Structure formats: structure tokens, C-alpha cells
Amino acid sequence: MTKIALAIHGGCGVMPENSMTPEEWEGARRDLGAALRAGYALLKAGGSAINAVEAAVVVMENSPHFNAGHGAALNENGVHELDASIMDGATLEAGAISASHAIRNPVKAARLLMEDGRAVYMTGPAADRFAEEKGLPVEPQSYFTTQKRVDALQAMKRHAAAGTEGTENEKHGTVGAVALDAAGHLAAATSTGGYTNKPDGRVGDSPVIGAGTYARDGVCAVSGTGKGEFFIRYVVGHEIASRMAYLKQDIATATDGLINHDLAPHQIGAGLVALDAEGVVAAPYNTPGMFRGWVTPEGKAFVATHEEVFEVEL
């Protein structure tokens, strides 16, 4: 038996206080706590890391406060295109779906695709058909839409017309989870609606194994958030694992090196959560805030949006 640990994120960004009401901030922290409880309950009962990350991400996909599932961003045509992936560090098995228009919980489809074994990655209408054939709930586009995302799309179109920049949380957001279970296995999962006003058919890093999601037993598990094109170029998840495995960097050094050094010249919003094989958590981000939470190997749970950290009950 080894220690258990869990970390989650709900996206990074500028996140000015006036971009959400006090009730919305509290709601986001409450749902982060709910995601931690969902994943940690499974770990505490001896469950697998892969089950824990799926459970935590499902809670955030169901929350209107995060850009995944219900509450996902809208593309340039006002359409939701949903991406997700999951990876088991014990076997390196993985599943990913992208450009889904209908899957209520994309991370569940990614998990079923991983278990199906015929493919790692499925996209578009085929991903929706696969999910429906497997018995997963599918929804009309209206299910995923919230007024916040409609307003954000209008704002980003105004920015585009004026040649100005939107705030990071108008642009994008992602949810993700990493876990270490009692058997010493690691897992990671990520889900997103992409960024607001994205080109039709654009796919970012969240469903790309090795970029936005990566897990390898004995090394680390990683889930990223931010400008996905750069996470793909730098293969961020795999790069962190490589620096730990081959350069013998600790998780803090490896993750800080990517987020605050390698990606810095590009001046993009970026963050991630990661766990090493001992349950040490890293959650670096280069924006003023990142929705995040973690449970230490000692069983203490915390959530945060900006610098202030709140302890929560499990």
C-alpha cells in the first residue's frame, strides 16, 4: 500500500474578480470541492487512479462554472465542440475524443474508447456515434450552452473586430485531474470546450496524449490548461515526464521549467496540475489565477482560484 493523492484544475486565466459574481466564485470553489470529494472517495476506498480522475472530471463537466461539458465554450459559429482524454499510467493505455457535438460527459467516452482498445483517438460524428452506441447520454447543443458562454463569444467577436485582446477567461478554460492510488498507479484526465470563438474544427491539446494529458507509473501524471497549440508544440505532459525520468528533476522543477521558462517567451496563459509517484503535487500557472484543488497524502484538501487557498472538508 502506498500513499494516495489527487489534484484537479478548472482552467487558468486572468480571472478578474469582477468577471464573476461573489456567488459564482463561491459556486466554482464549491464544485472544485465536490470534484475532489468524488475522486478522493474512490481512492480512499481502495479504488483505482483511473476511476478517480474520471469521477473528478465528470463533476466539473457537469458544472456550469467550467469550460467543459455543460458550460463549454462556443466556437466561431456558435457551436460546442468538446474534447477529452484519459490515460492510465499503469499500462500507458489511453483514450481520447475530439470535436464532439453531443456527448454529455466526454471524459466517459474517452474512458470507454480506452477500454474498447481498437483506437486511442476518435473524432467528430464518429465519436458521438461511438458514445451513443456504448449507452452514454447524448444531449442537444442547448444542454451545453450557458449565458456566460454566449456573452463571452460576443465579447471575443467584438475584440476580433477591434483588434484587441480578450481576457484569458473569455478565451478558454479546461478541466483536469491527476491521481495516485493505493496500488501506486497514476492516471490523468482532461476535458474542454476549447477556446471561445475558435475556428470550426479546431482541436487543442486536451485530447492529445502526451501534450495536455499524460501519465506514467513511477514518474508522474499531468493535466494541462492554457493555449493548447503551445502545449502540443512542446508536448508538455511527456516533456515533464522525460525531464523527471531522464534528468532526474523533481516534479516542481520539471513543471516550473515548462510553464514559467520554456513557454514564457510566447506570452501565453498556461498552467497544469501534476503528481509524482510519491503523491507530491505541483500546480504552476503563469496567469493571475487558476481554478485548482488538491488532496495531500495526509488527507488534507484545499481549493483555490487566486492566491488565497481554502481548506475544504472531505
pLDDT at residue 165 greater than cutoff 80: no
> Can you tell me which residue has the cell 478558454?
172
State the chain's mean pLDDT as an integer.
95
Summarize the confidence of residues 10-34 as an average pLDDT. Answer: 88
Task: Please report, for the chain, the start and end positions of each structural domain, with discontinuous segments joined by +.
Answer: 5-312
Range from 6-20, 33-47, 48-62, 232-246 carrying the lowest mean pLDDT: 6-20
Summarize the confidence of residues 182-205 as an average pLDDT. Answer: 97
- What pLDDT, in 10s, does the model give residues 111-122? 999 999 999 999
Residue with the bigger pLDDT between 217 and 288: it is 217
The predicted structure's pLDDT at residue 159: 87
Summarize the confidence of residues 269-291 as an average pLDDT. Answer: 96
The predicted structure's pLDDT at residue 18: 77
Task: Give residue 15's pLDDT band: very low, low, confident or very high (50, 70, 90).
Answer: confident
pLDDT at residue 172 greater than cutoff 90: no
For Cα atoms 59, 191, 120, give the angle at the middle one, nearest 5 degrees: 120
162 CB-near residues (< 8 Å, 6+ apart):
none
Q: Is 187 in contact with 215 (CB distance < 8 Å)? A: yes
The predicted structure's pLDDT at residue 167: 61
pLDDT at residue 203 greater than cutoff 80: yes
Percent of the chain with pLDDT over 90: 89
Task: Give residue 171's pLDDT band: very low, low, confident or very high (50, 70, 90).
Answer: low
pLDDT at residue 86 greater than cutoff 60: yes
Percent of the chain with pLDDT over 70: 97
The predicted structure's pLDDT at residue 304: 96
Query: 214: part of which helix (H) or strand (E)?
Result: strand 213-216
Kindly name the residue from 174, 190, 192, 225 that is annotated as catalytic: 174
**pTM (two decimals):** 0.96
> What is the rounded distance in angstroms from the CA atom of residue 92 to the CA atom of residue 106?
20
pLDDT at residue 149 greater than cutoff 60: yes
2 among known catalytic residues:
no
Summarize the confidence of residues 177-203 as an average pLDDT. Answer: 97
Summarize the confidence of residues 283-307 as an average pLDDT. Answer: 95
What are the residue ranges of helices labelled H in the chain?
A: 22-44, 49-61, 106-116, 124-133, 141-144, 147-162, 168-171, 228-234, 236-246, 251-257
- What pLDDT, in 10s, does the model give residues 247-264? 999 999 999 999 999 999
pLDDT at residue 266 greater than cutoff 90: yes
pLDDT at residue 1 greater than cutoff 60: no
CATH number among 3.60.20.30, 3.30.200.20, 3.90.550.10, 3.30.870.10, domain 5-312: 3.60.20.30
> What is the rounded distance in angstroms from the CA atom of residue 9 to the CA atom of residue 265?
24
